Structure 1
Amino acid sequence: MTPEEAWRALEEDLADYLERKGVVPSCRAGCFACCFGLVTLSRLEGLALLPHLTPLQKARLLEEGPRRLALLQEGKDDPHFPSRFFQSRTPCPLLEEGLCGVYPQRPLACRGLLTEGDPRLCAPEATPPKGHFLPVPWRMARLRMEALWEEERRRFGHALIGELASLLYLLLKGLPQDREGVEALLRELGVLGGRWGYQVL
């Protein structure tokens, strides 16, 4: 399975599920609170994204990547790190004037985050009620992610999972192919392991 196939399959599954359940997500263009969150990406999804990045998007990733790595180094063992990061309102570098700049190629983690509630409750300063984010679409996305991780293991001998902006940055800069090289680089950067750091599976 390729990332493109996983993206299409998830979209089809989501459309079928939402129609059967009569659920209408309130997510709309210009509603982008989720774009402040910590997004998980695998190397395989990152490689599928790279050809679609514009020069300006690449420039923003090259600027933002080191900052994200520093934040991960500092907070990867902190159980509250994702909340602190979200509340800092640091936008995804691929967000452009309130819209996703790579929407057709957005990661599975982004595709599975849906709500039918008030989108204002998605904001970093809000306290959404339990069940605000739909659990089934998220589980569907997670299953597709796990399938891609298995495919990545088959291709590379391991799977690499990390934060979106910093992983794209590392891919742009040049990431080792072998597990030992990847682990050595991430260890040197101080972002390997921990609760929220990079995982090599």
Structure 2
Amino acid sequence: MEAVERAFRALDEGIADYLARKGIRPSCGPGCFACCYGWVTASRLEAQALLPHLTEAQKARVLEEGPRRLALLAREKDDPGFSRRFFLSRSPCPLLEAGLCGVYAHRPLACRGVLTDEDPAYCDPENPHPAPKPHHGPGHFLRVPHRMARRRMEELWEEERAQTGFLVLGELSGLLYLLLTGLPEDREGVEARLEALGVLGGRFGFQVV
């Protein structure tokens, strides 16, 4: 999984350089985990790279939470308001442990790009966001790190296509669950499994491209 590790290093270094040049100091820190309630999308390549680092307890939580999220997705994947409702439901990532990311060094690119220099309390879904500053994106999150993460994600998607001939994208917990329980290697098999679960396509469903 060298491509994934390279993408992580490149993004971390790029974000650190940007923050240093702009004199921006993120306020994110231990015990700040409201973003861990979000709907995180990852590629199969990222999820496969994460699997060897999961503890047995983490795997057990993924095996418990994965089916719930897949069932939720099957019902609501076409609803434009789904991701916000999910955030407000305060369903934590199964890899969150005592307010800390249990796989922090191996967390997905999408998570690495979520940073703020405002009060972390604003990350709580119930709290109103302040007026954004010029370097913020929507709300109070830093725009450039988010864009940098997206660019690295797209590069990794191309790497996955080069390695396997197609790309699988989906919600992190559900994707980890599918890999733990056996996701087919071929495109037709993957599509058939996702179709059978009712989670293929739609606004928030799994994508095979």
1: CA distance between counterparts of 2:113 and 2:38? 13
Is 1:7 aligned to 2:15, yes or no? no
Give 1:128 deviation, angstroms.
1.6
CA displacement 1:53-111 (0-9 Å, x = unmatched)? 00000000000000000111111000000000000000000000000000000000000
Match of residue 32 from structure 1: 33
Is 1:45 aligned to 2:46, yes or no? yes
Match of residue 144 from structure 2: 136
2: CA distance between counterparts of 1:128 and 1:4? 33
Give 1:31 deviation, angstroms.
0.1
1: CA distance between counterparts of 2:186 and 2:154? 20
Give 1:127 deviation, angstroms.
2.4
- Amino acid paired to 1:173: T
- Amino acid paired to 2:4: P
2: CA distance between counterparts of 1:92 and 1:128? 22
Consecutive unaligned residues of structure 2, counting only runs of 5 or more, are none
Match of residue 174 from structure 1: 182
2: CA distance between counterparts of 1:128 and 1:199? 31
2: CA distance between counterparts of 1:127 and 1:150? 37
Consecutive unaligned residues of structure 1, counting only runs of 5 or more, are none
- Amino acid paired to 1:133: F
2: CA distance between counterparts of 1:156 and 1:127? 43
Give 1:184 deviation, angstroms.
0.7
Is 1:148 aligned to 2:156, yes or no? yes
Match of residue 21 from structure 1: 22
Further displaced range: 120-129 or 23-32:
120-129
2: CA distance between counterparts of 1:177 and 1:86? 31
Matched-pair identity in %: 68
2: CA distance between counterparts of 1:55 and 1:171? 15
2: CA distance between counterparts of 1:5 and 1:13? 12
Counterpart selection for 2:170 from 162, 171, 183 = 162
- Amino acid paired to 1:5: R
- Residue 162 of structure 1: SS of its match in structure 2? strand
* Count of residue correspondences: 201
- Amino acid paired to 1:195: R
1: CA distance between counterparts of 2:75 and 2:144? 32
- Amino acid paired to 2:19: L
Further displaced range: 120-129 or 43-52:
120-129
2: CA distance between counterparts of 1:108 and 1:158? 19
The TM-score normalised by the length of structure 2 is 0.95
1: CA distance between counterparts of 2:161 and 2:68? 28
1: CA distance between counterparts of 2:74 and 2:204? 9
